[in-house]
Structure 1
Amino acid sequence: MRKWRNAVVTAAWVAVGTAAGALGAWQLASSDSDGAGGAAHSRPLDEAAVRKALTASDPPPKSRPTPTPPSLTPPTSTPTSTPSAERSTVRFTGGSATVECRADGTVRLVSWSPADGFHIDDDVERGPAAVARLEAEPGDDDDQPDLPYEIRCTDGTPEAKVVPDTDDD
């Protein structure tokens, strides 16, 4: 009697699993077949389908009267003091950094990432300044020295250079 009950329970579980799988496959197939999308894995649209979808989604233009400005005085704007900056990535032995080379010749570290086996010391001087500084420290290798870097912008190009370590620890 017990073997018969186990077989029935197992058969019921297999039937439920099969039905759930079939229902899921049917739902996915039917959601893709109408071309309207809806499923996260829908096939990409070709150029004609994109134009059709965009045309269908554009609301008709509304005819509204153009509002008249309440005042004829032009708005005042405050000039920004941030000089234009060109971002680029500089790579060095201990990692890499995204750097802004600014029009005024200063440098600013936007972000940095250590290379495998290194970490970047918390004592980062990110700028904006004539020189930005950071230090790449080896992870577990006490025999390998720390790598302090100065990063400068020369003609809009960042350059990282190892400098003598001034830490006494």
Structure 2
Amino acid sequence: MRKWRNAVVTAAWVAVGTAAGALGAWQLASADGGGDAAHSRPLDEGAVRRALAKAADAPPVRPATPTSPPTSARPSPSSSPSGERSTVRFTGGSATVECRPDGTVRLISWSPADGFHIDDDVERGPAPVVRLEAEPADDDEQEDLPYEVRCAGATPRVKVAPDMDDD
């Protein structure tokens, strides 16, 4: 009788632990809800393409005030894909860029890597070179990582750039 009771108690503990784990996994999986919430991890290329397609169908996002910088990495609905889009990866994150037939590049969207954020002073283009800067979350320990992206034909090239700060 005692062995049977131990087996029942063990089975109950296993069932409770499994249910708690399943509930936690379900909450994590449904936390974003598919909305426009910010992501805490970089998006893969397929997720970036889906988000861009969804954003192209949405009405334009207006800044809160005329002097506030844009807080969104969405393309404007008026921009048409006139070039080849690619995702480039770098130490501080990843970015989707468009290499245009005229030799210019346009920064479409970006996503920081864990432990980084992208500085607000982003040069999106279209231009011969676009720039962005990944800043470590712990600014005292690591240097900022400035990058520039150019296109060689339809192929984007990312490299470390001179520091963009004026200080």
Q: TM-score, normalised by structure 2?
A: 0.50
Q: Of the two, which has the highest radius of gyration? A: 1
